[in-house]
């Protein structure tokens, strides 16, 4: 697994925290960010179907709703 440090705007950070706060069992910041990136990349054809299916299962088990296509 690769480690990365990113900066995000206050608006996006607030939206992430609001999302996490609204969940019965809040996912980690890492899980939310990874789910968002996986969805973004899959919509643009950069996440292969086998990985997409694996990520979908993992995120659903973590309670993160994700609509990867």
Q: Where are the domains of the chain?
A: 28-69
Q: Are 47 and 41 in contact (CB under 8 A)?
A: yes
At 4 the pLDDT is 87
At 15 the pLDDT is 93
At 39 the pLDDT is 81
- pLDDT tens, the chain, 69 aa long: 788 899 999 999 999 999 999 988 888 888 888 888 888 888 888 877 767 777 777 777 777 776 655
What residues contact residue 9 under an 8 Å CB cut-off, 6+ apart? none
Q: End-to-end CA distance of the chain, in Å?
A: 23
How many Cβ atoms sit within 10 Å of the Cβ of residue 1?
4
Q: Are 32 and 16 in contact (CB under 8 A)?
A: yes
At 66 the pLDDT is 65
């Amino acid at each position: 697994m690769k480690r990365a440090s990113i900066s995000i705007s206050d608006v996006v950070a607030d939206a992430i925290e609001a999302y996490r706060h609204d969940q019965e069992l809040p996912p980690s910041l890492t899980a939310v960010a990874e789910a968002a990136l996986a969805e973004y990349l899959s919509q643009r054809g950069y996440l292969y179907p086998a990985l997409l299916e694996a990520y979908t299962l993992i995120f659903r088990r973590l309670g993160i709703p994700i609509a990867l296509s």
